[in-house]
A and B are shown apart, each in its own frame.
Chain A
């Protein structure tokens, strides 16, 4: 699964559901006209071209970049002959192969790791959400920012950073800072689950925090005035948050079972097979076994689907609506004594473990000579100079920058159009179907999608049709767009849904045409959300691994595949140095973009767009 955001899965009240067509943005009306004052002009026919072409164009795009490749790959599991991959039109042989030995083992490992990561991440996220929403802990405003940082770091970077800390014979082990049992635990299921849980915490937090904030204080007050003590109050009120809790568990589970970053780094080092790596192995081995890879793809999709069904069953027919215009915000608790100390330890400890420790680990390990102990005498920048002077490194960085910039811009434009179409009151059944496709695609592991591309665009029939995209950067760009679009459009749905339709209408009835109304009355309110959506796609694409690994043209590398290549050569220090460079570039782009936003936009934009972001 791509390292992209999954916050889009979280509905307004923290439910794991497609966003409904809530807002009242105007439908396409008449073509825009002049601004001149005067009586209305005699009527003219309204152009319906937009209406007639918008939905089919959207469907065609989604079919080409999402539905067909994924469907081809998944159908392959049962009908290899359909794609010239075997003699049978229908067979379950591949299932038989996949459900034995290491493949089955990998799948079971993935599920267990997913459950453990989901539970741990949700528990930690609940704690963070409580601190952020219900206490006056100093620095609590930085929690969201810190979680964005955790989110932006790909799992393979975290994994490589932590590996540096625990590696046998590494700098920290040599300094006696790593006990043997911790080393053993880390290079195994515990380490894998821990890193996936760290990565899952932001997803769980973004599911829980709005629900906790929206809960208000009336439910607690009602419990207290009717005789409940603190614990009984918690017991009474906590079930109201069940949808958000299930949403958090499901998102982290889905994210963990489909992760490829840890699977291709730490899990390999620990000889701990997981499902995504078995897909990768099946595809990249010779001869490639696409049907078995497709079966594992099915199993991953099924695991996520089962989680969604369980969630749906558990919440079935119960109303958890807590948000209303009359909700009074909850009061914040002023922490003192041991509570303050415990909360600070918890929050700062979490960010220490997820950001600071791996960052320091990576930084220190990348500037200390390998297999030596800590000390200034062993300080070296050879890894960086090696990285920076390697003639092969410039092109991957430039390519990733170029691809990420193009993809972020394209995804933003298409995503905004999709989000606007989905939030239109005229979306209808077509809109709902597209919504389902997009939500489904979010649950589709990035590796499965990439494998679908690898397979679908390599079919003889596709070549015979004159489509020669296989092995081109264009195809990789399509895969990036397919990976980012579902997430990006759903990220945009939130701010668009929050906009009161009347703001756009007010622009129209007071004389501005549709474009001017959007530009002057609506765009400023979306600006910060658009910026963040762009940055998220940029960071996601810049660091994207599975599609890059499977689809990059021969001899061409992105920065992520370069890191994996260096890592696979057992050059952990080089991989770490490259990861640090990668993160610094992402950080630099974020700083530049936010600085530009601050300096170049009018005061009113900055004043309000943050409220919607």
Chain B
């Protein structure tokens, strides 16, 4: 599942119900630059989907195509069963029954908070008292019921983002789009607002598409995650699937690694319960048992690249066990519950973020054991070619 060719659209997860959004062969180019290439995706109604990717991967373009701000060059977009973009068709943003939370909030500075939120009610022909009640209700939900008369410039960044959220929700849209809404906030506020976004969106029962470059945010929020690279959708799945069974070395790297090791396959075993093969690889002077879905490409004697997750790595005292890789502590950092260590293995490879409750001082000789699900093996040429 390295790339998606023109096949049937992928369904995010297995949620039941009519798809809210269907993308078929979606492409977008800006002059000679192709920002999106043949994206096929189905987003079920009521799901919270996160599109994850680095800068320039095409996630913003995809979201803007969904919103109707950008016109798709090829392919089609169907929202709620209606084609909103396709050959010769482009439905204007205001007629797509959606709302959006922008990265820069996009609050109109000449309108008060209440006016900003009330703007999105124009789709619903409400009487003024009811309109006012709705605005107050949604401002209350985001904890800003006392700030309706203020102007956006009189609010903090977090408050502004809450207003943007209330504006997006108040119109009860069929689809809610989030364009990296937390990227301008500090860490503590990000965490709190992330929880609010998750709760308010799910309470409203709205289908949400959220883009981010932060895999922690993606995994925490998503029912389903789609990973984009260079304009292509390279993997779609639950957060667990994407983390434990990355389709490509790129997905594995982008979702967080402790480090990489080069090695040689000693043995290849049968499929395990998750549908992956198990391979034994000699690397860094020891032996690592890894999983792979490249069964055909990794046979005894082949060169392999091991991609190690940090969480399953454990520190041990140095020993003769070949399953324990020998190294020394290069750096250590306090993390509250314990310590994150950086270990340099004897071959010079570095592994970062290895947690242990006990502090190991710099220079200390240690062993590193890779636990179950901790290592992923790819053919070396494939792993080295996939550097984006």
- Please list the residues of chain A having a beta carbon within 8 angstroms of any beta carbon in chain B: 26-27, 29-46, 428, 500, 502-503, 505-514, 517, 520-521, 524-525, 602, 604-605, 607-609, 611
Contacts and interface: CB of A to CB of B under 8 A. Distances in A.
The 6 residue pairs across chains A and B that have the minimum distance between CB atoms:
A43-B89, A604-B110, A502-B106, A508-B93, A30-B92, A506-B106
A58 B168 CA distance: 38
A41 to B, nearest CB: 6
A508 B100 CA distance: 10
A437 B73 CA distance: 31
Contact of A37 (B107, B109, B123): B123
Given A29-B68, A36-B123, A604-B151, A509 B89 contact: no
B122 A512 contact: yes
B68 A509 contact: yes
Interface string B60-82: 00000001110100000001111
B69 A509 contact: yes
Contact of B91 (A26, A43, A607): A43
A525 B110 CA distance: 7
B177 A509 contact: yes
A186 B27 CA distance: 69
B332 interface: no
B111 A30 contact: no
B3 to A, nearest CB: 29
A506 B247 CA distance: 36
Contact of B83 (A42, A503, A505): A42
A207 to B, nearest CB: 27
Interface of B: 31, 67-69, 71, 79-86, 88-100, 102-104, 106-112, 115, 119-120, 122-125, 151, 153, 167-168, 171, 174, 177
A608 B109 contact: yes
A46 B89 contact: yes
Given A511-B120, A604-B112, A44 B69 contact: no
B83 A43 contact: yes
A507 B124 CA distance: 15
Contact of B151 (A507, A508, A607): A607
Most A CB within 10 A of own CB, among B67, B93, B120: B93
Nearest to A513: B94
A29 B90 contact: yes
Given A29-B68, A510-B120, A604-B112, A39 B80 contact: yes
B123 A509 contact: no
B91 A40 contact: yes
Contact of A509 (B85, B90, B98, B124): B98
B93 A29 contact: yes
A511 B151 contact: no
Contacts of A506: 100, 102, 106-108
Contacts of A505: 67, 69, 93, 100, 102, 106
A33 B94 contact: yes
9 contacts: A30-B68, A43-B88, A45-B89, A502-B103, A507-B94, A508-B68, A509-B100, A509-B177, A513-B94
Contacts of B82: 39-43
Given A42-B83, A43-B85, A511 B123 contact: yes
Nearest to A37: B123
A608 B69 CA distance: 25
A370 B291 CA distance: 104
Contacts of B124: 37
A513 B123 CA distance: 11
A514 B97 contact: no
Contacts of A38: 97
Contact of B79 (A27, A40, A502, A524): A40
A510 B97 CA distance: 8
Contacts of A29: 68-69, 71, 90, 92-93
Nearest to A30: B92
Given A33-B95, A36-B123, A605-B110, A508 B69 contact: yes
Contacts of B92: 29-33, 508, 513-514
Given A512-B122, A513-B94, A521-B108, 11 more contacts: A29-B68, A30-B90, A31-B92, A42-B82, A42-B83, A44-B91, A500-B106, A509-B99, A514-B92, A607-B110, A611-B109
A524 B108 CA distance: 9
A26 B97 contact: no
A41 B111 contact: no
A607 B152 CA distance: 11
B99 A502 contact: no
A27 B92 CA distance: 11
B95 to A, nearest CB: 5
B67 A39 contact: no
B171 A43 contact: no
Nearest to B112: A604
A598 B82 CA distance: 47
Contacts of B119: 507, 510-512, 520
A611 B151 CA distance: 14
A524 B110 contact: yes
Contact of A39 (B69, B97, B111): B97
Most A CB within 10 A of own CB, among B69, B120, B171, B177: B69
Contact of B97 (A30, A40, A513): A40
Nearest to B177: A509
Contacts of A609: 110
A26 B93 CA distance: 11
A39 B81 contact: yes
Contacts of A507: 94, 108, 119
A510 B109 contact: no
A46 B93 CA distance: 13
B37 to A, nearest CB: 20
B110 A512 contact: no
Given A500-B104, A505-B102, A511-B120, A43 B94 contact: no
Contact of A41 (B91, B104, B171, B174): B91
A503 B108 contact: yes
B179 to A, nearest CB: 8
B123 A30 contact: no
A34 B91 CA distance: 12
A41 B91 CA distance: 8
Nearest to A39: B80
Contacts of B69: 26, 29, 505, 508-509
Contacts of B84: 40, 43
Contacts of A40: 79-80, 82, 84, 91, 95-97
Contacts of A500: 104, 106
Contacts of A604: 109-112, 115, 151
A324 B234 CA distance: 34
A37 B106 CA distance: 22
A473 B125 CA distance: 51
Contacts of B95: 30, 33-34, 40-41
B138 to A, nearest CB: 13
B99 A510 contact: yes
Nearest to A602: B110
Nearest to B108: A521
A214 B349 CA distance: 45
B109 A525 contact: yes
A506 B160 CA distance: 14
A35 B122 contact: yes
A26 B70 CA distance: 8
A420 to B, nearest CB: 16
Contacts of B86: 43
Contacts of A45: 88-89
Contact of B171 (A31, A502, A508, A511): A511
Nearest to B122: A511
